[in-house]
Amino acid sequence: MEDRRREFGTFARLSGMMFLQFAIWGAWAVLIAGHMQNLGFSGKQISYVFGTTAIGSIISPIIAGWIADRLMPAQVFAAISHLLGGVCLLFAWKQTTFPVMWAAIFLHAVLYMPTIALTNAVAFHHMGQSDKFGNIRVFGTLGWIAINWILSLYLRFWEGQETTLSQIDIPIFGAILSFFINDVLHRGISDCLLFGAVLSFIMGAYCLTLPNTPPSRAAKNPYAFLEAFSLVSNRNFAVLLIISFVVAIELPFYYNLTYLFLTEAEHGVGLAGSSANFAMSLGQVAEVLLMILLFPCLRRFGMRFTIFLGILAWPVRYAIFAIGEPVWLVVGAQTLHGICYSFFFVGGMIAVERLSARDIRASSQALLLFVTNGFGMLVGHIVSGRVHDYFAYPEGGHAWAKIFMVPIVITVIAAIVFIVLFNEQKYQADAAAVDQDTANA
């Protein structure tokens, strides 16, 4: 009974960690696109700000993995990163120019992105069974959903203020009212950065209460990330990393552009900002359901077919976006994100964990983050911003069907290559060998 109570307590603490971890990112990751558009940023500038998370993933996770594996407890490093990251978001909240906004979000990204790998390492270290990682990771999705629903209600309040102001019909005050209406809308969207800053401070304090996850004392190589790179010699590991890189290229088309697509009145869907933000959260709602089903699917279908289904859901969603109607179908297509993320990315995290020796698992997770949220998304940010501007109409709006054809092609090719090259039997054998080595250690 005591062991069960202790196990539940650990589960609750790790779940709270995941909830806050992704609530921080979710607070600003969707709405900042609308905020930057209101500030007059171009598609390329918007993509460059989003691209800071990719640069942060390239610079930071390898070092963070090395610290977690060798020098400092993971929860302490995460606490420091979140507290400093909150300061950066608080500063970014009041910025209106591209260079300063980029610099502030870049510094936050350098501090935040390593904590994804670190919180994964903390969870894997204390929960015992890697196949049940989804049961804890699902709370990260709940955190993303919760903050976006709160922000949707917050935006709805400001939209109500806009409606109230617009009903005042006094010609002499027309220009003044127009200014206040724009200020009201801009203020509501920009506050996503303030929400993110507050959550970062809370997470920083919470990390200091987490179970201790000390550096591995048994490791022989002082440069753990080099051992993680050596896993590329395993064919399945290499295929997973390469396909993760390719798939990550299309992610900015969703994260950076979907809110703009849903709110564009000329050629997009034309939703209000609060409705668009809520619609995008439906993807995370579906993710919760699929995360719960991830472990049964892995046991029933295996790692190869589960990841394949995750990749294939992306082109289906983008095809619906390209068609662009009816509105209910476009909104409903957001739920395909559940399959995309849970089956592909979380499945990939589990595969990496099972193929890695215990003393380099934090570095292996950092390497996966390095390839996907780092180089893959960096390429995607550069490409998506240029594609967005290239297909802009002179009179306003964008040719969204042509924009979404790019990620459709990318993901279809990735799905075909993965299903052909990934060997399920070899993966199971390699994972079993790692488990045996870990048990004998």
Q: What tens digit of pLDDT does each residue of 191-205 get?
A: 899 999 999 999 999
What is the chain's mean pLDDT, rounded? 84
d(CA 258, CA 317): 11
CA of 366: how far to CAs of 26, 394, 433, in Å?
A: 20, 43, 22
**Single-letter code of the amino acid located at 246:** V
pLDDT reported for residue 184 = 47
The SS3 of residue 129 is coil
User: pLDDT (tens digit, 9 = 90+) per residue, 284-328?
Assistant: 888 778 777 888 888 888 899 999 999 999 999 999 999 998 999
CA of 28: how far to CAs of 16, 34, 59, 324, in Å?
A: 20, 10, 21, 25
Q: What would the DSSP string read from start to end of 349-377? A: HHHHHHHS-GGGHHHHHHHHHIIIIIIIH
Query: pTM of the predicted model, to two decimals?
Result: 0.81
Residue tagged 């090259």 (tokens):
421
Inform me whether the pLDDT recorded for 157 exceeds 50: yes
| 179 Cβ neighbours under 8 A, 6+ residues apart | none
Inform me whether the pLDDT recorded for 429 exceeds 80: yes
**Single-letter code of the amino acid located at 52:** T
The SS3 of residue 392 is strand
Query: pLDDT confidence of 161, banded at 50, 70, 90?
Result: low
Region at 60 (left for phi over 0; alpha for psi -120 to 50; beta for the rest): alpha
Mean pLDDT of 267-278: 90
Inform me whether the pLDDT recorded for 225 exceeds 80: no
Closest CA to 422 of 227, 215, 161, 244: 244
pLDDT reported for residue 441 = 62
| Domains defined for the chain, CATH in brackets | 2-211+221-435 (1.20.1250.20)
**Single-letter code of the amino acid located at 94:** K
pLDDT reported for residue 218 = 53
Length of the chain: 441
Min mean pLDDT across 2-6, 82-86, 174-178, 409-413 is at: 174-178
3-state helix, strand, coil in the chain (%, to 5): 85, 0, 15
Cα-based torsion angle of the residue sequence 424, 429, 431, 436 in order, rounded to the nearest 10 degrees: 170
In degrees rounded to 5, what are phi and psi of residue 82? -70, -40
Mean pLDDT of 176-186: 46
d(CA 249, CA 45): 18
Cα-based torsion angle of the residue sequence 362, 215, 140, 55 in order, rounded to the nearest 10 degrees: -50
d(CA 361, CA 427): 17
User: pLDDT (tens digit, 9 = 90+) per residue, 227-263?
Assistant: 677 788 888 989 999 999 999 999 999 989 999 999 9
Closest CA to 280 of 192, 401, 373: 192
pLDDT reported for residue 263 = 92
Inform me whether the pLDDT recorded for 165 exceeds 70: no
pLDDT reported for residue 214 = 80
